[in-house]
């Protein structure tokens, strides 16, 4: 097969294992340890929780199948930035990149790094101590902004992984493979211990609690599940670095999403085998509670280690892939020009990596990442849905575009993914109207900057 060109200076060195590790590693983060509580409180019964996990997994798979066609046909840096630009025009691609760079991806990186420090604080409580305070009204309620030792550690982790991924794509991909293998191995051990401990009961799998349930409860739980599955699309952002993308990109997207779905279902089977629905509904950290019942405090500590490894892999994959979005905008002349430069020796978008991670570090210290990320969930899923629909749009607009992979089940599969995205958008708008509107404001705040950079390129 002919190789696809990539952006000047970037190198196609990510093989199938590294590509699949990015998919698995960025999907499986902290959600598997946290989300079951929210889901059981929304739907009430364990059977419905599994139904939601399956539906959420299938919708994510439909997204992966759709993106597989787009990624194989347009294997460039930027992922959705490229797909939206080609299907709807450069403004929509820019708005996606703008949102990802300043809020969505940077906020996600900040949140994962902070989660890493929270789990480590279980072993080193001094990390939660206050190092100092900035005497400005930036904290909660206008108080001075406190800086904790753990936040410094979180930033050091971010900047350390920035250095890893600036040193070389092959090196960053290798770290991703090792971290993902360790993550899956630890999760497999936790699942095996839960199912084989003899401390559970099959009756727990049929337990339930009072809950609103119904259609509203189902969609609320589905939003939580889709949040846990989020990350399957990250590989498309780094399509420019994948070897033989016409083969390896679809393979990694589909196999990685299926593997994550299998891990999620197996983990929940272990949780609900050991714990009844009522116990899961009141547990902030369901995996830790399960292991505490099996092994005592040592079991809960083991889950904290597994969570840190899981977050580390997701963090590395997010930095590796996410930095390709501002790089792609800059390479098109629609962002700071220096961000589009490739390191002459290492062949990495080192300045884009530095921009993304420095801004994520600012968000760590500000403590505003979670709030900002909540704002753009609504806007981000609008753009995800538009990206899924781009499969259909480009079939009409560019019928002669070479498509090494064609979406299985077209057009039903991309339409179902769009329906899933629409359900997230509607649910978020109903339950968080203020945050949804603010998210749109944040996204469309990029419009004047788009026209500024557009004028500079004319």
pLDDT (tens digit, 9 = 90+) per residue, 368-391? 766 676 777 788 889 999 999 999
Measure the CA–CA gap between 278 and 232, rounded to whole angstroms: 31
pTM (2 d.p.): 0.90
> Which residue is listed with tokens 């939601």?
52
Tokens matching residue 163: 């250095």
What integer pLDDT is reported at residue 8 of this predicted model? 56
What integer pLDDT is reported at residue 126 of this predicted model? 87
- Per residue in 429-439, pLDDT tens? 887 788 889 88
- Give 224: exposed, middle or buried? Use CB within 10 Å, 0-12, 13-18, 19+: buried
Measure the CA–CA gap between 73 and 76, rounded to whole angstroms: 9
Is residue 6 scored above 60 in pLDDT? no
Tell me the average pLDDT across 323-350.
Answer: 92
pLDDT band, very low/low/confident/very high, at 87 (cuts 50, 70, 90)? very high
For the chain, the residue count is 458
Q: Which residue has the higher pLDDT, 403 or 215?
A: 403
What integer pLDDT is reported at residue 228 of this predicted model? 86
Q: Which residue has the higher pLDDT, 56 or 424?
A: 56
Nearest to 79 by CA among 398, 325, 382: 325
Tell me the average pLDDT across 325-342.
Answer: 93
Q: Which residue has the higher pLDDT, 137 or 88?
A: 88
What integer pLDDT is reported at residue 2 of this predicted model? 41
CATH of domain 16-457: 1.20.1740.10
Is residue 229 scored above 60 in pLDDT? yes
Is residue 316 scored above 50 in pLDDT? yes
Which of 9-13, 84-88, 350-354, 360-364 comes out lowest in average pLDDT? 9-13
CA quadruple 269, 274, 276, 277: dihedral sign: negative
pLDDT band, very low/low/confident/very high, at 137 (cuts 50, 70, 90)? low
> Which residue is listed with tokens 């070897």?
243
Measure the CA–CA gap between 88 and 397, rounded to whole angstroms: 10
Map out the domains of the chain as residue ranges.
16-457
């Amino acid at each position: 097969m002919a190789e696809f060109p990539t952006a000047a200076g970037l190198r196609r060195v990510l093989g199938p294992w590294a590509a699949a590790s990015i998919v698995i590693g960025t999907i499986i983060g902290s959600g598997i340890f946290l989300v079951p509580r929210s889901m059981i409180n929304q739907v009430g019964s364990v059977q419905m929780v599994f139904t939601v996990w399956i539906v959420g997994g299938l919708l994510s798979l439909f997204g992966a199948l759709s993106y597989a066609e787009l990624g194989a046909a347009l294997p460039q840096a930027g992922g959705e930035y490229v797909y939206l630009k080609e299907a709807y025009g450069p403004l929509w691609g820019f708005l996606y990149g703008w949102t990802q760079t300043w809020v969505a991806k940077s906020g996600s990186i900040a949140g994962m790094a902070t989660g890493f420090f929270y789990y480590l604080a279980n072993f080193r409580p001094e990390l939660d101590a206050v190092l100092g305070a900035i005497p400005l009204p930036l904290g909660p309620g206008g108080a001075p902004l406190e800086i904790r030792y753990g936040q410094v550690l979180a930033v050091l982790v971010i900047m350390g992984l920035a250095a890893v991924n600036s040193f070389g794509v092959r090196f960053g991909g290798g770290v991703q493979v090792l971290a993902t293998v360790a993550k899956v191995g630890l999760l497999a051990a936790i699942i095996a211990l839960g199912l084989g401990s003899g401390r559970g009961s099959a009756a727990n799998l049929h337990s339930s609690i009072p809950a609103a349930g119904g259609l509203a409860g189902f969609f609320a739980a589905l939003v939580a599940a889709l949040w846990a599955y989020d990350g399957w699309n990250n590989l498309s952002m780094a399509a420019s670095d994948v070897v033989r993308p016409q083969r390896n990109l679809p393979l990694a997207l589909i196999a990685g999403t299926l593997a994550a779905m299998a891990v999620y279902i197996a983990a929940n089977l272990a949780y609900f085998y050991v714990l009844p629905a009522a116990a899961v509904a009141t547990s902030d950290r369901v995996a830790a509670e399960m292991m505490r019942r099996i092994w005592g405090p040592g079991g809960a500590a083991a889950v904290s280690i597994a969570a840190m490894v899981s977050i580390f892999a997701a963090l590395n994959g997010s930095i590796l892939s996410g930095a390709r979005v501002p790089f792609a905008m800059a390479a098109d002349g629609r962002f700071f020009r220096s961000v589009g430069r490739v390191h002459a020796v290492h062949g990495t978008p080192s300045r884009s990596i530095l921009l993304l991670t420095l801004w994520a570090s600012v968000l760590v210290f500000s403590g505003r990442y979670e709030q900002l990320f909540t704002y753009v969930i609504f806007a981000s899923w609008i753009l995800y849905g538009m990206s899924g629909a781009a499969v259909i749009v480009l079939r009409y607009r560019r019928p002669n575009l070479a498509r090494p992979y064609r979406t299985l089940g077209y057009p039903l599969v991309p339409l179902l993914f769009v329906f899933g995205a629409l359900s997230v958008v509607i649910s978020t708008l109903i339950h968080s109207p203020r945050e949804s509107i603010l998210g749109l404001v944040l996204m469309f705040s990029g419009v004047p900057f788009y026209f500024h950079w557009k004028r500079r390129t004319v």
